[in-house]
């Protein structure tokens, strides 16, 4: 199992993704002198990732199942173009152990951790058990799937209310229910299980204690294939709507250097114990008393990785590629540098008030620039935002010496982020930047509920 | 091994306007054909009609002579416009299907058979065998017109239309992408 692949330098990489992340990967490949192959569906022909790749192939029609999730088409393209490796980006096949195994079998390096780790972390119950064994604290909860209401009631009594019912195969908030009393539990188990079965084809749910107003804090790790592992500090991702992150920052306003060190070292130790390799993110819930609990691990590059890149000066994609090439990490934990403060706003093609998707043609587009501003995007003036994929069209990332300066910088960057023809979340982010609680750093995963209520839109939150 | 079923729904482009019959070929028409060949970046053009047969061939910049295993991509194709009109930046990637798409876009009177999958195009069941179809061959909807190899699987592609093969847009052994025109069929 160890080193099933001979280390070698990559000449050409296929990017099995679309959108801003495909562009993001292409930029680093260009800097590394690696040729890129883009794959795309027939509606993505005019997307920038296709434009800037060295080679490209249309692999199927618009529905993801027939294009970006179409493993035979992607492998076939990889073989035709004779690529050394495949970068899966995030979403689509990024966390498919099956895809990673097929890449291995076809002698194409999958840029990510080994398939067995992806599989383990993909099963949220197993992941929690394994990470707990590897030393990470977890939220008190059921050790396995809950099969009956009786069992659920007994477990919940031991755990203590409020509890949260979650889908074992879950993510993105589907199959989740917060339960504050015994009477609600039966129905919550049933609806969560139904939702989970519909969304993930697996109706298994589990119960754990619900932590009120927690923060979502995640630790970025980098591990090579020789057992070396470091962390790159944390990202504060508490600003979410329906468990979808909207804005992220690094560092968090509540992590003391001691807590950062403790959480970082715990994450690294667990990753080492599991034999993790490549970039990964260990997600924690942090309560008001500084207790942290392992939630899940994402075995891929994340949407919000740029905030870490800004404050650490690391190129995470570059490190993923280097590690996949079989290079040693080359850094120690002492090399970690955290400079200033970074914020990322996700610009979605959505109505900023109702959050309804807003596809259409972008009639005018201006990118903000100037000091300390980075925009990751794949759209341009004249681009048609299709309804087939997720609504993320750009990420505006700023970096400044302090959080206060970063907020000021984000405000003026958002002002210059002009997107006409469709509705976007730019105005929402502008309002958040002016919110007193946000400015004070007083945020938790309930922030959006508070924010939308304050701005007269209670219904939109959940 | 037949191609996925979804393919039939995805063949959106159907043009059934009648083509004009070419009874014979004179020098002017021959010149026209040569221009057509050059302008569309075609490498080979074969025309057969009532005992009359013309075959035009020109050197392409680099065209692989059908390597069986992992044909090299980057075919550095003969100069052909490859800019999608809306995209902003100069340059752009090498798309295996650019040439064929450009060529087929001229053939308004033909029904185009697009590739249902990405893979490697083969005109015959084995390197030594005769091609499934040639210019002038009659096809029915069930007629196998080519093979597309994807992940070592040989997928037989059926015409799904009837008529006469008028154009073959892809060289044997070339990579093809989803939706790329393979054949132009003159409806009968």
**Cβ neighbours of residue A435 under 8 Å, at least 6 residues apart?**
A451, A454
The verdict on A81 touching B (C-beta cutoff 8 Å) is yes
Q: Which residue has the tokens 């935002």?
A: A385
First-to-last CA distance in chain A?
A: 44
For residue A455 the two structure tokens come to 């701005």
Query: Which runs of consecutive H residues, i.e. helices, occur in chain B?
Result: 7-10, 27-39, 98-106
ipTM of the complex: 0.72
Q: Of chain B residues 35-64, which have a CB less than 8 A from chain A?
A: none
Flag if A57 and B177 touch (Cβ within 8 Å).
yes
Closest C-alpha among A20, A36, A3 to residue A321? A36
Buried residues in A397-421 as b, exposed as e (16+ CB within 10 A): bbbbeebeebbebbeebbeebebeb
Please check the confidence at residue B74 and state whether its pLDDT lies above 50. Answer: no
Query: Which runs of consecutive H residues, i.e. helices, occur in A33-148?
Result: 48-52, 71-81, 97-105, 115-122, 124-133
Q: Which of A52, A56, A76 sits opposite B95 (nearest CB)?
A: A56
CB atoms within 10 A of CB B148: 24
Flag if B117 and A73 touch (Cβ within 8 Å).
yes
Q: Which H helix or E strand runs over B158?
A: strand B153-158
Please check the confidence at residue B46 and state whether its pLDDT lies above 80. Answer: no
Q: Which of B74, B86, B119 sits opposite A76 (nearest CB)?
A: B119
Identify the closest residue of chain B to A102 by CA–CA distance: B151
Spot the catalytic one: A24, A119, A300, A403: A300
Identify the closest residue of chain B to A65 by CA–CA distance: B6
CA–CA distance, A358 with A356 (Å, rounded to integer): 6
> What was the pLDDT predicted at B81?
39
Half-sphere exposure of A160 (CA within 13 A, CB side): 4
Closest C-alpha among B84, B52, B72, B43 to residue B174? B72
> What was the pLDDT predicted at B85?
40
Identify the closest residue of chain A to B71 by CA–CA distance: A80
Q: Which residues on neighbouring strands pair with residue A285, listed in sequence order?
A: A216, A293
Q: Which of A49, A55, A76, A365 to mutate to test the interface with B (most CBs of B within 10 A)?
A: A76
The verdict on A52 touching B (C-beta cutoff 8 Å) is yes
Q: Which H helix or E strand runs over A198?
A: helix A182-200
Range of weakest confidence among A94-108, A152-166, B62-76, B119-133? B62-76
Flag if A76 and B95 touch (Cβ within 8 Å).
no
> What was the pLDDT predicted at B68?
39
B chain contacts of residue A52, beta-carbon cutoff 8 Å? 89, 93
From residue A280, how far is each of A28, A121, A229, A270, B142 by CA, in Å? 18, 11, 10, 12, 50
CA–CA distance, A31 with B143 (Å, rounded to integer): 48
3 state SS for A137-188:
CECCECCCCCCCHHHHHHHHHHHCCCEEEEECCCECCECCEEECCHHHHHHH
Residue B32: pLDDT band (50, 70, 90) is confident
CA–CA distance, A199 with A145 (Å, rounded to integer): 17
Q: Which of A45, A53, A59 sits opposite B118 (nearest CB)?
A: A59
The verdict on B117 touching A (C-beta cutoff 8 Å) is yes
Distance from CA of B160 to the nearest CA of A (A): 18
The verdict on B150 touching A (C-beta cutoff 8 Å) is yes
Distance from CA of B170 to the nearest CA of A (A): 15
Distance from CA of B71 to the nearest CA of A (A): 6
Flag if B10 and A52 touch (Cβ within 8 Å).
no
Angle between helices A124-133 and A257-274 (to 10 degrees): 110
What is the CA angle A228-A234-A238, rounded to 5?
145
B chain contacts of residue A54, beta-carbon cutoff 8 Å? 74, 93-94
Average pLDDT of the residues in B147-161: 91
> What was the pLDDT predicted at A305?
98
CB A53 within 8 A of CB A36: yes
CA–CA distance, A107 with A84 (Å, rounded to integer): 8
pLDDT tens series, chain A, 462 aa: 444 444 448 999 999 999 999 999 999 999 999 999 999 999 999 999 999 999 999 999 999 999 999 999 999 999 999 999 999 999 999 999 999 999 999 999 999 999 999 999 999 889 989 999 999 999 888 877 888 888 999 999 988 899 999 888 876 667 788 999 999 998 999 988 888 888 888 888 989 889 988 999 999 999 999 999 999 999 999 999 988 999 999 999 999 999 999 999 999 999 999 999 999 999 999 998 899 999 999 999 999 999 999 999 999 999 999 999 999 999 999 999 999 999 999 999 999 999 999 999 999 999 999 999 999 999 999 999 999 999 999 999 999 999 999 999 999 999 999 999 999 999 999 999 999 999 999 999 999 999 999 997 544 444
Q: What's the distance, CA A330 to chain centroid?
A: 25
CA–CA distance, B10 with B168 (Å, rounded to integer): 20
Flag if A382 and B97 touch (Cβ within 8 Å).
no
Identify the closest residue of chain A to B87 by CA–CA distance: A46
CB atoms within 10 A of CB A461: 16
What is the CA angle A151-A153-A158, rounded to 5?
100
Helix (H, G, I), strand (E, B) or coil at A421: coil
> What was the pLDDT predicted at A147?
85
CA–CA distance, B116 with A70 (Å, rounded to integer): 13
CB A157 within 8 A of CB A179: no
Distance from CA of A241 to the nearest CA of B (A): 33
The verdict on A63 touching B (C-beta cutoff 8 Å) is no
CA–CA distance, A216 with A73 (Å, rounded to integer): 37
CB atoms within 10 A of CB A278: 25
The verdict on A244 touching B (C-beta cutoff 8 Å) is no
Half-sphere exposure of B165 (CA within 13 A, CB side): 25
Average pLDDT of the residues in B2-22: 37
The verdict on A64 touching B (C-beta cutoff 8 Å) is no
The verdict on B84 touching A (C-beta cutoff 8 Å) is yes
CA–CA distance, A255 with A233 (Å, rounded to integer): 10
DSSP codes of every residue in A320-340: HHHHHTT------GGG----S
Query: Which runs of consecutive H residues, i.e. helices, occur in A314-384?
Result: 316-324
The verdict on B10 touching A (C-beta cutoff 8 Å) is yes
CB A429 within 8 A of CB A379: no
The verdict on A320 touching B (C-beta cutoff 8 Å) is no
The verdict on A137 touching B (C-beta cutoff 8 Å) is no
Closest C-alpha among A11, A30, A77, A52 to residue A317? A30
B chain contacts of residue A59, beta-carbon cutoff 8 Å? 118, 177-178
Closest C-alpha among A451, A351, A349, A368 to residue A412? A368
In the DSSP assignment, the letter for residue B111 is: E
For residue A368 the two structure tokens come to 């903000």
Q: Which of A45, A57, A380 sits opposite B88 (nearest CB)?
A: A380
Q: Which residue has the tokens 């939630």?
A: A295
CB B97 within 8 A of CB B179: yes
For residue B43 the two structure tokens come to 């490498």
Distance from CA of A243 to the nearest CA of B (A): 34
Identify the closest residue of chain B to A40 by CA–CA distance: B178
CA–CA distance, A417 with A365 (Å, rounded to integer): 8
Flag if B70 and A51 touch (Cβ within 8 Å).
no
Q: State the pTM of this model.
A: 0.78
Please say if A322 is a catalytic residue: no
CA–CA distance, B122 with A150 (Å, rounded to integer): 62
Flag if B73 and A76 touch (Cβ within 8 Å).
no
The verdict on A61 touching B (C-beta cutoff 8 Å) is yes
Average pLDDT of the residues in B40-44: 66
Closest C-alpha among A354, A372, A364, A344 to residue A246? A344
């Amino acid at each position: 199992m160890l080193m099933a692949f001979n280390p070698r330098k990559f000449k050409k990489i296929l990017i099995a993704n679309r959108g801003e992340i495909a562009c993001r990967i292409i930029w680093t490949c260009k800097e590394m002198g690696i040729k890129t192959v883009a794959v795309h569906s027939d509606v993505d022909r005019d997307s920038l990732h296709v434009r800037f790749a060295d080679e490209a192939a249309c692999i199927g029609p618009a529905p993801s199942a027939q294009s970006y999730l179409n493993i035979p088409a992607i492998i076939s393209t990889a073989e035709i173009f004779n690529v050394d490796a495949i970068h899966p980006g995030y979403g689509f096949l990024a966390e498919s152990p099956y895809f990673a195994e097929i890449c291995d079998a076809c002698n194409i390096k999958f840029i990510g951790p080994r398939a067995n780790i992806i599989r383990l972390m993909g099963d949220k119950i197993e992941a929690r058990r394994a990470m707990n064994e590897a030393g990470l604290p977890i939220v008190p909860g059921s050790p396995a799937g809950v099969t009956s209401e009786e069992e659920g009631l007994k477990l919940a009594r031991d755990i203590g209310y409020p509890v949260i019912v979650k889908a074992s195969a879950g993510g993105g908030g589907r199959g989740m229910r917060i339960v504050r009393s015994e009477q609600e539990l039966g129905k919550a188990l049933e609806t969560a299980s139904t939702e989970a079965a519909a969304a993930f084809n697996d109706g298994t749910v589990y119960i754990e204690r619900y932590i009120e107003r927690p923060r979502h804090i995640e630790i970025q790790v980098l591990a090579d294939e020789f057992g070396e592992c470091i962390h790159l500090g944390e990202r504060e991702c508490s600003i979410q709507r329906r468990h979808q992150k909207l804005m992220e920052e690094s560092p968090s306003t509540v992590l003391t250097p001691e807590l950062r060190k403790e959480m970082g070292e715990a994450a690294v130790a667990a990753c080492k114990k599991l034999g993790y390799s490549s970039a990964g993110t260990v997600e924690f819930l942090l309560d008001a008393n500084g207790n942290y609990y392992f939630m899940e691990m994402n075995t891929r590059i994340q949407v919000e990785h740029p905030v870490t890149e800004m404050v650490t000066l690391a190129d995470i994609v570059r490190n993923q590629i280097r590690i996949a090439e079989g290079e040693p990490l080359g850094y120690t934990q002492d090399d970690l540098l955290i400079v200033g403060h970074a914020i990322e706003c996700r610009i979605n093609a959505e109505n900023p008030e109702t959050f309804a998707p807003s596809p259409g043609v972008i009639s005018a587009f201006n990118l903000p620039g100037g000091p300390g501003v980075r925009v990751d995007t794949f759209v341009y003036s004249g681009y048609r935002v299709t309804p087939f994929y997720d609504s993320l069209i750009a990420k505006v990332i700023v970096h400044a010496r302090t959080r206060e300066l970063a907020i000021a910088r984000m405000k003026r960057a958002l002002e210059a982020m002009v997107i006409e023809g469709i509705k976007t979340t730019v105005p929402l982010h502008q309002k958040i930047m002016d919110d007193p609680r946000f400015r004070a750093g007083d945020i938790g995963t309930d922030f959006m509920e508070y924010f939308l209520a304050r701005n007269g839109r209670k219904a939109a939150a959940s | 091994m037949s191609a996925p079923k979804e393919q039939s729904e995805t063949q959106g482009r159907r043009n059934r306007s009648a083509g004009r019959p070419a009874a014979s070929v004179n020098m002017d028409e021959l010149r026209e054909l040569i221009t057509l060949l050059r302008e569309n970046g075609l490498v080979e053009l074969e025309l057969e009609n009532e005992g009359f047969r013309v075959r035009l061939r020109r050197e392409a910049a680099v065209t692989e002579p059908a390597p069986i295993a992992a044909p090299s991509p980057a075919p550095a194709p003969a100069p052909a416009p490859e800019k999608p009109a809306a995209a902003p930046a100069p340059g752009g990637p090498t798309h295996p299907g650019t040439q064929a798409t450009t060529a087929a876009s001229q053939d308004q009177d033909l029904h185009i058979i697009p590739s249902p999958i990405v893979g490697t195009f083969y005109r015959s069941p084995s390197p030594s065998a005769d091609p499934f179809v040639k210019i002038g061959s009659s096809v029915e909807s069930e007629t196998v017109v080519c093979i597309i190899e994807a992940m070592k699987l040989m997928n037989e592609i059926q015409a799904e239309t009837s008529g006469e093969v008028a154009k073959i847009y892809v060289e044997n052994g070339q990579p093809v992408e989803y939706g790329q025109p393979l054949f132009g069929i003159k409806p009968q």
